[in-house]
Structure 1
Amino acid sequence: MNGTENTLVNPKSKSLYFLQQCRFWIPNVVAPIIFIIGLFGNVMTIIVLTRKRMSGSTNTYLTALAVSDLLYLIFYMTLSLEHHMSDTKYILYWKYWRFAVWFADATVAISTWLTVSFTLERYIAVCHPLKGKVVCTEARARKVIGFVVMFCLISTVTTPFEWNTQININPETNKTTVIQYSSLGKNKTYKTIFYWFSGITFVFIPLILLGTLNYLLINAVRISQQKRKNLTEGNSRKNYKEKQENKITTALVAVVFLFLFCQGPSAITLILSIFYNPEEGTDGYNIVHGVGNIFNLLLAVNAAFNFLLYCAMSDKYRQTMYRTFCPSLAINHQRANTFSSNASYRSSMHR
Structure 2
Amino acid sequence: MKNGPALHGFLSGDRRNRINSAWDYFVNLVAIVILSHGKCGLSKCITRYLVAMATADLMVIVCDVILHWIADLYWWNTFLYYTPVCRFIHFLAPTATDSSVWLTVAFTFDRFVAICCQKLKTKYCTERTSAVVIVTVSTLFCLKNIPWPFVYTPYITANNIPRGCRAKVQFYIALTWRAFSWFEQLLTPLLPFCVILLLNALTVRHILVASRARRKLRGGSNSENDKDPEMRNRRKSIILLFAISGSFILFWMTTVVYFFFYRITNAFSRRSLFSPFPNFEHAGTMLQLLSSCTNTAIYTATQSKFREEMLNVLKYPFTLIHKSVELCKLQD
* TM-score with structure 1 setting the length: 0.71
In the alignment, the residues of structure 2 paired with residue 74 and residue 316 of structure 1 have an alpha-carbon distance, to the nearest angstrom, of 28
Compute the displacement of 1:225 (Å). 4.6
The alpha carbon displacement at 1:248 in A equals: 4.9
Residues matched between the structures, number: 293
Q: Does 1:73 align with 2:61?
A: yes
The answer to whether the 8 A contact 1:101-1:160 is kept is yes
What's 2:129 paired with?
Answer: 140
Choose the corresponding residue for 2:107, options 118, 123, 143: 118
One of 48, 51, 74 as aligned partner of 1:60:
48
**Structure 2 vs 1, CA of residues 219 and 317 (structure 1 numbering), >3 Å: closer, same or farther?**
farther
**SS at 1:72's partner residue?**
helix
CA–CA separation in structure 1 for the residues paired with 2:181 and 2:14:
30
Indicate whether 1:262 and 2:251 are aligned. Answer: yes
| Aligned partner (choices 40, 44, 51) of residue 30 of structure 2 | 44
Aligned to 2:147: 158
Q: Deviations over 1:299-335 (max 9, x none)?
A: 12111233442454222422443455559xxxxxxxx
CA distance, structure 2, for counterparts of residue 39 and residue 157 of structure 1: 26
Secondary structure of 1:279's match? coil
How far residue 63 of structure 1 moved from its aligned partner, in angstroms, is 1.2
Q: Report 1:78-97 matches (<5 A).
A: 78=66, 79-81=68-70, 84=73, 89-90=77-78, 92-95=80-83, 96-97=85-86
Q: Which amino acid aligns with 1:35?
A: S
Distance 2:285 2:278 in 1: 10
Letter in 1 for 2:167: Y
Relative to the length of structure 2, the TM-score reads 0.75
> Which segments of 5 or more consecutive residues in structure 1 lack a partner in the other structure?
1-18, 170-176, 328-351
Is the CA contact (8 Å cut-off) linking 2:200 and 2:241 kept in structure 1? no
The answer to which of 52-61 and 292-301 deviates more is: 52-61
Please tell me whether residue 129 in structure 1 is matched to residue 115 in structure 2.
no
Deviates more, 1:36-45 or 1:304-313: 304-313
Cα distance, 1:61–1:245 mapped onto 2, change above 3 Å: farther
1:303 aligns with 292
Kindly provide the CA deviation profile for residues 114-136 of structure 1, in whole angstroms up to 9, marking residues without a partner as x. Answer: 11111111111111223212211
Q: Structure 1 residues 59 and 223 mapped into 2: Cα distance closer, same or farther (>3 Å)?
A: farther
Q: Secondary structure at the match of 1:80?
A: helix
Q: Check conservation: 1:164, 1:181, Cα contact below 8 A.
A: yes
- 1:313 and 1:167 map into 2 onto residues whose CA distance is 51
Please name the residue that 1:349 is paired with.
none
Q: Is the 8 A contact 1:266 1:292 kept in 2?
A: yes
Q: Contact (CA 8 Å) 2:53, 2:100: kept in 1 or not?
A: yes
Secondary structure, counterpart of 2:206 in structure 1: helix
Query: In the aligned structure 2, how far is the partner of 1:319 from the partner of 1:195?
Result: 44
- Map Cα deviations across residues 178-230 of structure 1 (whole Å, 9 max, x no partner): 43234663551222220222133223432221111111222333345545555
| Deviates most, 180-189 or 294-303 | 180-189
Q: Which runs of 5+ in 2 are unaligned?
A: 1-7, 317-332
Residues 230 and 194 (structure 1), Cα distance of their counterparts in 2 relative to 1, 3 Å cut: same
